[in-house]
Chain A
Amino acid sequence: MKTIEYKLIMRAEQPIAHAQESLGNVSVLARRKVRRPGGGFSLVPYVSGDAARHQLREIAARMTLDAIGLHSGMSQGALRLLFNGGMVTGKGDATTVNLDRYRELVALFPPLALLGGCTDNRPMPGTLEVGELNLICRETEHVMPAWARDSGVGPLDSARDHVEQVTRTRMDPTLVPERVSLLSSDDAAAIHARTAKSAKAHEDGDAVVASESKSAMMPREHECIARGSLFWWDVAARVYSDAEETAFRAMMTRAMAGIHVGGKRATGHGLIVAIGCMTPQAEASPEDYARHINREALRAWLTSGVNS
């Protein structure tokens, strides 16, 4: 058994919209309680270990599929195992695996040993320990590990300084005359009638009719962690074979180049990259990892009907 640990300083290359809940039209950042040195707690934004761990799972799954050149035709059970870790049914049917089958699957797909999966009727823990991404700020200075403090992170700002509130609006195309002109005459007339009804309701102060005839335009707000914010992150795994070690190193090499966490990824949010590894590690490429895979056997299993 060997334990490999990555201690990383990560930087938000894009704003991070890792929300915890919505209050009305406002999406609120995930925050955690941090004990203050003088008593009491501060709420500090963070990125959950679950979000980070799922990124490692996605990296492993996609790296494996690239290695065997398989991008279609897979069974539902196989995809669920690769991207979700499987499922618990409470009975040993074909969509679950027993311990012996689990060992065979680990040999076929080494990241399963790191990430864990499901056996007969309970989840099988993996050997990967993914820490939360902790914001480097004044509120966390006293709990920051020495290796993070020694990484030269510079003067610290308060957690509140790292949070920005952004307003966006989903426009209603029926409010734009040139788009309304594209509608059929009946639909255009209905839009004009609704607009007139809404205007009259506002003049009359009739809230019920105003609500019924309002447009679909929706302003909304979200909080995000500002671009350039720094986090400390540690990830460790117990490995028992060359295949597991290479898989872990390849996953982490890819993750250090950048992972996406949180929402709004389609609009330039969520990219975090490593700017320093305080425990220098050997790198591994997807090609190194591919050498440990039995491509034919894995391809046959992923496309077989027995696991769906």
Chain B
Amino acid sequence: MIGEHPATIAPMVVTARLEWSIVLNDPPMLDSLLAWVYAARANLLAPVGPEQTIPIAVPLAEQDGIRLASQGIAGTPDAYETRHKHRRAPWPEYARMGSVRLRRCDMAAGPDKSYRRPYVVTVVEGDAIHWYALGDLDMVRSLLRDVRHVGKHRGTGKGRVREWSVEACETWPGFPVARDGRPLRPLPVSWPGIDPGARSGFRVLTPPYYQRERELPCLIP
């Protein structure tokens, strides 16, 4: 186990002010960002499967194994753009620098398949994403300083965070994972206080959230 548990517990609203647009399916989870910071500091590689996953403590309160933090709330997107990811087999390098056994390069199938894959870039409402959470404000604030990008395609400049703000906030019944009977993050189906008509689907409940083999039936935002 790496990471740290919260020293104090307080309600907070976390805001990421984005410099530009972002690439995302669902807005990221706050506990995954915090866990990523501990993993990055320890130079851990991203686990490929559940058997390689190391539990990482984060300074957020927990209930029944669920971190008490909402999923990112990004509002209604103001604009979209379609961009493309290109991959082209390095065939000139194969020709010039490859071994004599290297005689052909199939760019239509197999390991050298080349593509132009579209993806959507979103300009989120007010260029900001919010999270509500229960945890240690100072520890969360300190950890988020290391998070420079959120969302996908971070390595090529998408989802750049201009500044983070972590402030104390008011609470409401169900804070911070539900509001007015609606879940604000994926929750187990037995979670109390959720409206019976809430949406349901299959989601992962703990980081890393990309491991879809760990998906369970959940109540979802």
A-to-B contact residues, CB < 8 Å: 1, 3, 32-33, 35, 41, 48-50, 52-53, 65, 71-77, 79-80, 82-84, 87, 89, 95, 98-99, 102-103, 116, 119-122, 124-132, 143, 145, 236, 238, 240, 303, 305, 308
Interface segment out of the listed B153-161, B168-176, B187-195: B153-161
Which one, B48, B96, B105, B111, contacts A89 given CB within 8 A?
Answer: B111
Give CA–CA (A32, B158) in the complex, Å: 12
Residue from B81, B94, B96, B157 whose CB has the most chain A CB atoms within 10 Å: B157
Give CA–CA (A52, B157) in the complex, Å: 10
Contact size range, B: 35 or more
Residue from A50, A87, A99, A119 whose CB has the most chain B CB atoms within 10 Å: A50
B123 surroundings in chain A (CB, below 8 A)? 33, 35, 41
Closest 3 CB pairs of A and B: A49-B156, A49-B157, A83-B90
18 contacting pairs across A/B (C-beta < 8 A): A32-B81, A49-B155, A49-B156, A49-B158, A50-B156, A73-B97, A74-B97, A75-B98, A75-B99, A82-B93, A84-B90, A99-B45, A99-B52, A121-B48, A130-B155, A132-B20, A303-B99, A308-B102
Which one, A73, A84, A95, A120, contacts B89 given CB within 8 A?
Answer: A84
Kindly state whether residue B46 has any CB partner on chain A within 8 Å.
yes
Contact status of A129 and B157, CB under 8 A, knowing A33-B81, A41-B79, A87-B111: yes
Contact status of A132 and B157, CB under 8 A, knowing A72-B97, A76-B98: yes
Number of A-B contacts (CB under 8 A): 120
B81 surroundings in chain A (CB, below 8 A)? 32-33
Give CA–CA (A80, B98) in the complex, Å: 10
A75 and B154: CB pair below 8 A? no
Residue of B nearest to A106 (CB): B45
A248 to chain B, nearest CB (A): 14
Since A80-B89, A129-B155, A238-B40 are in contact, a sample of 12 more A-B pairs with Cβ atoms closer than 8 Å, ordered by chain A residue number, is A33-B123, A35-B78, A35-B123, A49-B157, A72-B99, A74-B98, A76-B105, A82-B93, A99-B52, A127-B40, A129-B149, A130-B157
Which one, B83, B99, B149, contacts A74 given CB within 8 A?
Answer: B99
Q: Which residues of B52-85 have CB atoms within 8 Å of chain A's CB atoms?
A: 52, 78-79, 81, 83, 85
B93 surroundings in chain A (CB, below 8 A)? 79, 82-83
Which one, B90, B127, B149, B156, contacts A80 given CB within 8 A?
Answer: B90
Which one, B85, B89, B97, B100, contacts A71 given CB within 8 A?
Answer: B97
Give CA–CA (A129, B158) in the complex, Å: 9
Which one, B86, B96, B155, contacts A126 given CB within 8 A?
Answer: B155
Which one, A48, A83, A102, A303, contacts B156 given CB within 8 A?
Answer: A48
Kindly state whether residue B180 has any CB partner on chain A within 8 Å.
no
A114 to chain B, nearest CB (A): 10
B149 surroundings in chain A (CB, below 8 A)? 129
